[in-house]
Amino acid sequence: MTNLIPIISQKEIHDRVTDIAHRISSDYKNKDFVLIGILKGSFIFLSDLTRAITIDHEIDLVGTSSYSGTETTGIIEFTKKVDLQLEGRHIILVEDIVDTGRTLAALINYFRSLNPASIKICTLINKNERRELTVAVDYACFTIEKGFIVGYGLDYNEKYRNLPAIFDLQF
């Protein structure tokens, strides 16, 4: 039996995503930049974030997968690589959640090899409890200590991505 405990409302998400989008719009003024959504979990956050950014930018997507249930397998599989040419361009990696940090550590290595002008990290949720690898998060909508979080793109075994707010899944 599982329970969904509401922790972040639709209004709170909307307000924080708008704030972060405005910060990015200001920080990247007159810069050539690309938002890169990390599939699948970031798809809803990315679609709200891009529409709230008020300056020109491009979008690409990279796919990774490593979780089975609530645990990382530790093996980051690439399910899709980027399409755009990124050399010399500013990139912002858009995540739904940074948990152990393994996914982003692997992605940062991959993106460095493409020689972008800069790499920054933007995440909906920065979760501290299980962090194994240090990741410098530049933009975080919410920081939480613990829990297994679902909704607004985040899943548990592919379920709950469609929930419009964010919940703590309790077992």
Ligand X SMILES: O=P(O)(O)OC[C@H]1O[C@H](OP(=O)(O)OP(=O)(O)O)[C@H](O)[C@@H]1O
Write the binding mask 132 to 161 for ligand HPA: x where contact by CB under 6 A, - elsewhere. ----------------xxx---xx------
The catalytically annotated residue of 27, 48, 60, 99 is: 99
Is 83 in the active site?
no
Using CB distances below 5 to 8 A depending on partner kind, what does residue 65 bind out of ligand HPA, ligand X, none? ligand X
Tell me if 18 contacts ligand X by CB under 6 A. Answer: no
- Interatomic CA distance for residues 133 and 72, integer angstroms: 13
**DSSP annotation of 24:** H
Residue 116 Cβ, how far from ligand HPA at the closest point, in Å? 25
Tell me if 43 contacts ligand X by CB under 6 A. Answer: no
At residue 128, the 3 state secondary structure works out as coil
Taking the least distance from each CB to ligand X, the nearer of 39 and 59 is 39
Taking the least distance from each CB to ligand X, the nearer of 21 and 135 is 135
The H or E element containing residue 66 is strand 58-68
Across the beta sheet with 139-144, the strand order is: 71-80, 58-68, 33-39, 90-98, 118-127, 139-144
Using the contact rule CB under 6 A, the part of the chain among 2-10, 17-25, 34-42, 45-53 near ligand X is 34-42
Count of Cβ atoms closer than 10 Å to residue 55 Cβ: 14
